[in-house]
């Protein structure tokens, strides 16, 4: 289980289903080497999977988060981070969609997170949001097998079809697990 405190309410979410985990792992593989490590890319970021973020009374655990090193030069010694990220990614599943969309996005906006991605492995989409005037604007929605450049990581191409497909996958009629 993953526990979060959102608007004074404890939310416990189950561990991710395999399709969720695949999308998370592959997206990390695209972004982390060029941006966190600076390998074949610009560097300048700290990218973390499932970090615990304390924003006032809120305790959030996004699937992925990134901080520009100019705002978070190094990781804190604490088990949590008390600085809002510059980018968050939530991999949507049926059990977390309401929390991610209706609650957490509002907190991220209030805390001035500039970019959010909502990755839906079942719908095979990536929604890209940018904070504009304190509100989320949908910048793009990518679907299927597209190869795209997505802000704030537009220096690299991301094969979004790789986030959810393998030749050996079960048919679409099979139970998605979550």
Residues 86-138 have pLDDT tens digits of: 999 999 988 889 999 999 999 999 999 999 999 999 999 999 999 999 999 99
Residue 172 lies in a domain: no
CATH number of 143's domain: 3.90.1570.10
- Report the number of distinct structural domains present in the chain: 1
* For residues 144-156, average pLDDT: 95
The residue range of the domain holding 154 is 2-163
In a domain, 107, yes or no: yes
DSSP 58-120: EEE--SEEEEETTT-SS--SSSSB-S--SEEEEE--TTTHHIIIIIIHHHHHHTT--EEEEEE
3-state secondary structure of 169: coil
- Give the C-alpha distances (Å, rounded to integers) separating 66 from 17, 95, 112, 143, 168: 23, 24, 13, 23, 32
Residues 138, 15, 25: CA angle, nearest 5 degrees: 60
Residue 130 included in any domain: yes
pLDDT of residue 20: 77
pTM value > 0.85:
yes
| pLDDT band at residue 169 using 50, 70 and 90 as cut-offs | low
Residue 174 within a domain? no
Q: Which residues pair with 100 in a beta bridge?
A: none
Domain-embedded: residue 44: yes
86 occurs within a structural domain: yes
Q: How many angstroms separate the CA atoms of 85 and 65, rounded?
A: 6
Report the candidate in 66, 63, 70 with the shortest Cα–Cα distance to residue 35: 66
Residue 169 resides in a domain: no
Q: What is the pLDDT of residues 29-58, one digit of tens each?
A: 999 999 998 898 899 999 999 999 999 999
Q: Is 33 a member of any domain?
A: yes
């Amino acid at each position: 289980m993953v526990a979060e405190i959102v608007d004074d309410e404890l939310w416990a979410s189950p561990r991710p289903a395999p399709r969720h985990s695949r999308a998370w792992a592959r997206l990390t593989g695209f972004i982390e080497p060029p941006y966190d490590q600076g390998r074949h890319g610009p560097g300048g970021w700290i990218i973390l999977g499932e970090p615990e973020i304390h924003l006032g009374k809120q305790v959030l655990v996004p699937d992925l988060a990134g901080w520009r090193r100019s705002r978070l030069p190094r990781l804190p010694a604490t088990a949590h981070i008390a600085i809002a990220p510059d980018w968050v990614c939530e991999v949507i599943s049926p059990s977390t969609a309401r929390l991610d969309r209706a609650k957490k996005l509002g907190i991220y906006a209030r805390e001035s997170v500039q970019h959010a991605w909502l990755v839906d492995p079942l719908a095979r989409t990536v929604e890209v949001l940018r904070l504009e005037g304190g509100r989320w604007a949908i910048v793009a929605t990518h679907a299927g097998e597209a190869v795209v450049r997505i802000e704030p990581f537009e220096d690299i191409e991301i094969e979004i079809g790789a986030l959810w497909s393998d030749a050996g996958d079960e048919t679409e009629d099979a139970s998605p697990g979550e």
